[in-house]
Amino acid sequence: MDDVSKTANRYRIGLEVRRSVLGDPHVDRAEDAATDFDRPFQELITEAAWGTVWARPGWSKRERSIVTLALLAALGHDEEVAMHVRATVNTGASRDDICEAFLHVAIYAGVPAANRAFKIAKDVFAQLDGAKSAHG
C-alpha cells in the first residue's frame, strides 16, 4: 500500500471513529464549517488523532475518553473538555469515571484546573439531563 492509500485509509478509519465518539452532528458541523484555510487541520486531526491514536487496539473508547478528559482538563482546554464530556455518552465513560479523572487532575495538575473541569462537566450534565427530560 502506498503512502497516499495509507493516508486515505487512515482518514476513512479516523472519520468512522470520530463519528462514533463525537457523533454525526458534531462531525458534520465541523466538516461543513471547514474552509480552504483550515481543511488541512481537519484532515490532520481526523487522520492523526482519530485514525491513528483513537483507532489503536489495546484501549477501549472508554479508557481513551477518560485519559483524554484528564489531559484536556489539566491543560485548561475548556471547549474540548465540554465536547469530550458530551462524547462520554458514546464512549461508555461514566460520570464516576469523569469524577475520578478530574480528582487525578487536582492532584497532578492542580486544583484550579480540576475545579474548572468539574464546573464544565456539571454544566454539560445539566444540558444533557435537560435534553433527556425534554424528550422523556
What are 98-131's pLDDT values in tens digits? Answer: 999 999 999 999 999 999 999 999 999 999 999 8
Burial class of residue 43 (count of CB atoms within 10 Å of its CB; 0-12, 13-18, 19+):
middle
DSSP 34-98: --TTTHHHHHHHIIIIIIIITT-SSS-HHHHHHHHHHHHHHHT-HHHHHHHHHHHHHH---HHHH
Whole-prediction pTM: 0.91
Give 70-82 pLDDT, tens digit per residue. Answer: 999 999 999 999 9
